[in-house]
């Protein structure tokens, strides 16, 4: 396991020591757990942001596509007709 030297403000170190003691953990164990939790949180937040951007891009793409659809048409019927047409159907071998 690697060892790391980290500089912390005295007041933060006092809080770390106080919490570690109250939780029955060593300073090192407390910092390891806190760091692991923070890393997981940052990863989750980044993944959520990537999903949000992806969803927004999909919505934007669908809105752009909708601009090219005939006005007043039942888009569900258009999709069904396309799906049921010869070029929309696929055979079991993928053709």
Q: Is 17 among the domain residues? A: no
Q: Could you tell me which of 55, 34, 36, 56 has the C-alpha nearest to residue 44?
A: 36
Low-confidence ranges of the chain (pLDDT < 70): 87-95
Q: Is 14 among the domain residues? A: no
How many domains does the structure of the chain reveal?
1
Q: Is 10 among the domain residues? A: no
- The residue segments making up the domain with residue 77 are 22-84
What is the structure's pLDDT at 47? 98
What is the structure's pLDDT at 94? 57
pTM for the full predicted model: 0.63
What is the structure's pLDDT at 60? 95
Q: Is 50 among the domain residues? A: yes
What is the structure's pLDDT at 41? 98
Q: Is 2 among the domain residues? A: no
Q: Is 43 among the domain residues? A: yes
Q: Would you call 46 helix, strand, or coil by DSSP?
A: helix
What is the structure's pLDDT at 76? 84
What is the structure's pLDDT at 68? 83
């Amino acid at each position: 396991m690697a060892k790391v030297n980290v500089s912390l403000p005295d007041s933060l170190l006092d809080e770390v020591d106080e919490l570690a003691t109250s939780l029955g953990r060593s300073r090192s164990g407390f910092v390891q757990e806190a760091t692991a939790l923070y890393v997981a949180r940052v990863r989750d937040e980044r993944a959520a942001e990537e999903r949000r951007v992806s969803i927004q891009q999909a919505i934007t793409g669908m809105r752009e596509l909708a601009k090219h659809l005939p006005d007043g048409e039942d888009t569900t019927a258009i999709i069904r007709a396309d799906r049921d047409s010869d070029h929309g159907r696929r055979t079991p071998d993928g053709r």
